[in-house]
Structure 1
Amino acid sequence: MKLQLIKVAMIVFSAVSLNCNQSVSASEQDQQKVRTAAKQFYAALNKLFTGEVEPMNKVWSHQDDITFMGPDGSFLRGWKPIAAEWEKTASMKLGGKVEAKEMHITVGQELAIVSNYEIGHNVGPDGKTVKVKIRATSLFRKENGIWKMIGHHTDLLPFLSKSTSG
């Protein structure tokens, strides 16, 4: 009986070890793909500051369950209002550049979280350069094998902030 329990325990341990090793390598692959998707988001954001919206449209999921909580205090749900927000932001031509710093990535099988600082500068409504340093959290989902952004939440930027009553 004791020998049988030891054999069962060894089989279970071997199966768990094998499964863990497979998920680690898959996770490393997905970790790199999520890092690339996050970098593509920041490249698209910088293009948006020049008035180009198409790169931003490519990095986002176009589903109804996505969210955007931007630096102006907005809380948008679904692709249509988020796409409209990107159009509006592109038309502002904020100029400048923002980069992700101190990126921390957590990856699951279908969802990933990226937390970082967004550091750089934009041009304020008065035409003066405004420094930016805010915290941001981005959510990604694997859709048809591609990591797409499904959520982005940042601190407020006073020069963009609007009333958030309600």
Structure 2
Amino acid sequence: MNIQLTIEEYHKAADIFSRGNPDPVKKMYAHSDDVMLANPFGSTVKGWQRVSEALDLASSRFRDGEVKSFERIATYETNDLLTIFEIEKWTSRVGGKSEISSFDLRVTTTFRKENDNWKLVHRHADPIASFNDKGPIRGDI
């Protein structure tokens, strides 16, 4: 599969994830012992089983969401690996809150070519903090 089509599929999967469904993102991951996930809802996990469980937990925190945009900052590509760095602009109901929150995530994603398909092997996402004269202000996640 073409890497650009894979990235488009990944963006659609992230959007579906924002509504509480982890399945499309899970389908994009390699199911191997070296895959990793670091997200705002827990510690970094390694290995498909732990990543799968962490995706379930993280997606359960979101309802009625949408990823409004993906701003590509950098792309690093070889024949077998691709890493992208993006700013994702989200809206979602987070946790038990009834109101919809807006927040931006700073995300590094790596794909690896496996049997002529690009598979997700690493995602690190964290909320972008704002600062005022009293220190950092974090979003709702």
TM-score using structure 2 length:
0.79
Unaligned segments of structure 2, at least 5 residues: 128-137
> 1:96–1:123: 8 Å Cα contact kept in structure 2?
yes
**1:132 deviation in Å?**
1.5
After superposition, residues 2-21 of structure 1 pair within 5 angstroms as none
Partner of 1:149: 120
Q: Deviations over 1:36-88 (max 9, x none)?
A: 22221221122223333321121111111011111335301111011112222
| Aligned: 1:122 with 2:92 | yes
Larger radius of gyration: 1
Partner of 1:102: 72
**1:152 deviation in Å?**
0.5
| Aligned: 1:43 with 2:22 | no
Greater Cα offset, 50-59 or 144-153:
50-59
Structure (1 or 2) with the greater helix fraction: 1
Structure (1 or 2) with the greater strand fraction: 2
> 2:62–2:92: 8 Å Cα contact kept in structure 1?
no
After superposition, residues 65-84 of structure 1 pair within 5 angstroms as 65-84=34-53
In 2, the alpha carbon distance for the partners of 1:137 and 1:41 equals 13
The residue identity in structure 2 corresponding to 1:107 is E
**What percentage of aligned pairs have identical amino acids?**
22
**1:101 deviation in Å?**
1.4
The count of aligned residue pairs is 129
Structure 1 residue matching 2:21: 3-state secondary structure: coil
Q: Deviations over 1:78-123 (max 9, x none)?
A: 1101111222233334321113113532210111111110112111
> 1:49–1:89: 8 Å Cα contact kept in structure 2?
no
TM-score using structure 1 length:
0.68
In 1, the alpha carbon distance for the partners of 2:3 and 2:43 equals 25
One of 20, 30, 35 as aligned partner of 1:61: 30
State the Cα RMSD in Å.
2.0
